[in-house]
Chains A and B, each alone.
Chain A
């Protein structure tokens, strides 16, 4: 059974993943925090396996929601596992799942489950509130976007 010390170390791995990768966009942190053979179960199709898949899905998120900030709602750890709940808040500034930028301020939630061994993530399962996000994106008219979207081809409003 993992000691309290290992449990606290495991929690700090997931905290770094959230803060340094999701909020600060430091891609190198993925290589540090994940085993190269990590199995990453992502809630999307057609992505590369392993940590590269995590990087790929994040690129899509950062393009659609460049100001996204994730906050930690809950963290629970036992043995070699950590579970977390997050809220992500962002402005919809780039195409996402076929919906062109709307400029809306949106949020979604995620529950994660990590298996961590020797201070590295070996497996990650991720579930997110797809319906809750889509409902916000399609409800009501698009908002005027205050800066040029960074995604080529998506809706632009000139100032």
Chain B
């Protein structure tokens, strides 16, 4: 699959899954043996990724994710993005704080035949936890 095709797939994923909050509208973008790398106890595969999406959409129902940079080769895409949201729902066992939140993300996607085969996400979780009051600044 071309570099441009891989980039389109990721852009569609971000648009539908995150910005349209449509966790079930993206199955066609994923390889059948897709592997996420989120920690236990999430189920394997796309079910686990959807679990994370539902959890985030519950905690941050108005989230808007903006792509800042996107690079790709013929088998990998890296997306750097910024998220803005209100913590209007429960998150990781804490009730809604209603705090305005912003955080940053860097996602690496391994691609195969134009579909997402594997995903490694890192986000500015410490920054987010401080904004919702879960972690006190030093």
Contact = CB atoms under 8 A, between A and B. Distances in A.
Interface string A26-64: 000000000000000101111000000000000000000
Interface in A90-130: 97-98, 109-113, 125, 127-130
Nearest to B109: A76
A76 B125 contact: no
A61 B111 CA distance: 33
A131 interface: yes
Given A76-B76, A76-B78, A125-B80, A130 B106 contact: no
A125 B137 contact: no
B132 to A, nearest CB: 13
A75 to B, nearest CB: 9
Nearest to B130: A45
B62 interface: no
Interface stretch (B14-22, B24-32, B42-50, B116-124): B116-124
A89 interface: no
A6 B72 CA distance: 16
Given A78-B72, A78-B73, A128-B122, A111 B106 contact: yes
A132 to B, nearest CB: 6
B124 A127 contact: yes
Given A43-B127, A111-B122, A74 B108 contact: yes
Contacts of A41: 104
Nearest to A127: B122
A46 B106 contact: no
Nearest to B105: A127
Mostly helix, strand, loop or mixed at chain B's interface? strand
Contacts of B3: 78
B71 A79 contact: yes
21 contacts: A45-B137, A74-B76, A74-B120, A76-B73, A76-B76, A78-B72, A83-B71, A83-B78, A83-B80, A85-B108, A85-B120, A111-B107, A111-B108, A111-B121, A125-B80, A127-B104, A127-B106, A127-B122, A130-B125, A131-B125, A132-B39
Closest 9 CB pairs of A and B: A127-B122, A83-B78, A78-B71, A111-B106, A111-B122, A130-B126, A127-B106, A76-B76, A113-B80
Interface of A: 41, 43-46, 74, 76-79, 81, 83, 85, 97-98, 109-113, 125, 127-132, 135
Given A79-B71, A81-B69, A129-B122, 15 more contacts: A43-B124, A45-B137, A76-B71, A76-B72, A81-B71, A83-B71, A83-B108, A85-B120, A97-B138, A111-B107, A112-B106, A113-B69, A125-B80, A127-B122, A130-B125
